[in-house]
Amino acid sequence: MRLSHDEIREMLPDYQRGAISGEMRGHIETHIRGCEDCRAELSLITEMTGIMVPDPGELFFKTLPKRVRTSVKEQGVKGLSLKALLFRPLPATATIAALIIITVLFTFTKKKETSEFDPYFKDPFTVAVLDYGGITEKDIPLIEERIPIDELFTYHGNSMGYSYYREFASLRSKELESLYEALRKEQKTGVPKKS
Amino acid sequence: MDEDIRLIESYLAGSEDAIEGLVMKYQRQIYAFVYRMINDMEEAKDLTQKTFINAINSLRGFRQESSFKTWLFQIAKNLSLNHIKQNRHEEVEVEESLTGDRSGALSTIIEREIKGHIRRGLEGLPERQRLAVILRVYEGMSCSETASIMGCSEGAVKAHYHNGVKRLREILKEKGYEIKS
């Protein structure tokens, strides 16, 4: 077996530690005898391994296993409420499911509330289905007769932007149907009476 | 290695005694490695304990893609590097008091000075070079184990190691010490 200079240099820490034996050790020794660079590197490694770390004391090593065990146990108890309950597989699935249900409920509840109280709200489903094409400005006086009118309201909107158009737009289909039914009963649909 | 797996499985099965077995087996090695990385005994003791606590707490996530020892050293390395980064601004050059104890034979004094220069030289190496030298020379890790701990290729480990050793030799040469066999 023939080893290159670089390959032998790679093995010097292992050689110095005595981790290489047999034929391989013989090859390395032969190379080192003729290679000043490897000899110098081996000497440096030998010097380095002679540098000891300060001893922290036997007490440290004797008590460390127990301290680690206690800390792990304490952290395990602390972590049980959050980590174990939220992030372990089964609770995590339950948590995600609960979050989805809460989100869905919140979304639907919020939508309902908004459509009832926000005059600017346009329910995309209702707006898309309803056909306001049949209602013209001529129809408005008919309704005017039945509905108490706030004088601040105008056909085209007051300073706050309120108007009958918006008022109509905010009505639900059932409300419009009821309104239409009431008008029909009183025969106030179609062309207004001429006075 | 088989003993490590047995201890890990035993711990995962509920035996807390296994924790102590794992700590006892590697505590000296981890302490020495951390100390060589950060050069502070009290901090090294602290980080050694943290290394084991983190390792045991993450044991369920240990996939056995590398040995437990390599994995443990990865945790110790990360903690040490974080510590170095956090304390970089506080680093103060502590000049070893070599003149304080000049008793003994001349050869002993020179020996001590060389070791002092090597230690300071090692401290001054870039992190990756220092890691490669410490793991290869002091911890007896192979290139592949070192690569796994450092999270790089074996080629990169070889390059970092050789640059580190070369730099140490240069430092000693600059100080007037020529290391010869």
Give backbone dihedrals phi and psi of A187, rounded to 5 degrees, phi first.
Answer: 55, 45
> What is residue B165's predicted lDDT score, i.e. its pLDDT?
93
d(CA B60, CA B49): 19
Nearest to A68 among B28, B49, B169 (CB): B49
Lowest mean pLDDT among A25-39, B61-75, B97-111: B97-111
Integer CA distances (angstroms), A192 to A107, A139, A141, A156, B99, in order: 43, 7, 8, 21, 116
- Which of the 8 DSSP states describes residue A193? P
Averaged pLDDT, B21-28: 95
Residue of B28, B57, B181 lying closest to A75 (CB–CB)? B57
Does the pLDDT value for residue B100 go beyond 50? no
* Minimal Cβ distance to B115: which of A10, A50, A69: A50
| Positive or negative: CA dihedral B153, B158, B159, B161 | positive
Residue of B17, B138, B157 to mutate for A, most A C-beta atoms under 10 A: B138
Residue A163: what are its φ and ψ, rounded to 5°?
-155, 170
Phi (first) and psi of residue A154, to 5 degrees: -130, 170
**Residue A83: closest C-alpha in chain B:** B57
- The pLDDT tens digits for B27-36 are 999 999 999 9
pLDDT computed for residue B20 by the predictor: 94
- Please give the pLDDT value at position B68: 93
> pLDDT-based confidence at B138, cuts 50/70/90?
very high
Q: Per-residue pLDDT tens for B144-161?
A: 999 999 999 999 999 999
pLDDT at A152: 44
Chain B nearest-CA distance from A97, in A, is: 24
- Segment of A104-118, B37-51, B115-129 carrying the highest mean pLDDT: B37-51
> Which of the given ranges, A92-96, B99-103, B155-159, has the highest pLDDT on average?
B155-159
- Coil, helix or strand at residue A154: strand
Above 60 in pLDDT, residue A107? yes
User: pLDDT: is A116 or A101 the higher one?
Assistant: A101
